[in-house]
Amino acid sequence: MNKTPRHPDHSRPVESPSSPERRNALRTSSAILLCAGLGIGKQALSGEPSNSRPKAGDQLVRSDSDGNPVPLRSTEILPDSKPLGAFPLEPASGEVRSGSRLNKVILIRVAPGDLTEETRAYAAGGVLAYSAVCTHQGCEVSEWVAKDKTLMCYCHFSKFSPGRAGEVVAGPAPRTLP
């Protein structure tokens, strides 16, 4: 054990940062955190339908005031207003794929003049869908900043332009919204 000189007020030697006891404690803590993380990952990868990723043919639903899934209609998505959050629903089973926050999408209606040519190809009547998960640190993108016509993540204030394919226009996010 590496020992440093004793402080006059201490009865035992102070351990240095490179002591075996400290390294063992760090290894044990790291192993516990790794196992805990694997447990979460195992749950997300389990065969639970609510955890599975969206698939072609899924419908988008929002929750009503009682938490029941309600199919979204394009008329509910108003121009230049706060985006609507939604989860995919598997039509055959009626299972909402809300077991993973990574499945949440936001829907927003953008005026045709605010869409780039590329983005216009993906818009249905001006309605666009983006992941609700910020590309910076995974917080939820949920706000609409009307003066900038941007979607915003409140964690670190990244802003994305829905009319320009989810391009980052401000903040620390490294990539566009998928």
User: pLDDT digit string (tens) for 107-165?
Assistant: 999 999 999 999 999 999 999 999 999 999 999 999 999 999 999 999 999 999 999 99
What separation in angstroms does the CA of 132 have from each of 7, 100, 108, 168, 175? 54, 12, 11, 14, 13
Closest CA to 178 of 138, 140, 136, 135: 135
Q: Yes or no: say if 13 and 4 are a contact pair by the CB < 8 Å rule.
A: yes
**33/46 Cα distance (integer angstroms):** 20
Q: Yes or no: say if 150 and 160 are a contact pair by the CB < 8 Å rule.
A: yes
Q: Which CATH superfamily does the domain covering 49-170 fall into?
A: Rieske [2Fe-2S] iron-sulphur domain (2.102.10.10)
At residue 27, the 3 state secondary structure works out as helix
User: pLDDT digit string (tens) for 37-94?
Assistant: 444 444 444 457 677 888 889 999 998 888 889 999 989 999 888 999 999 999 988 9
Closest CA to 131 of 172, 166, 97: 166
Residue that the structure tokens 């009865």 belong to: 11
Q: Yes or no: say if 150 and 159 are a contact pair by the CB < 8 Å rule.
A: yes
Q: Yes or no: say if 137 and 89 are a contact pair by the CB < 8 Å rule.
A: no
Q: Where are the domains of the chain?
A: 1-46, 49-170
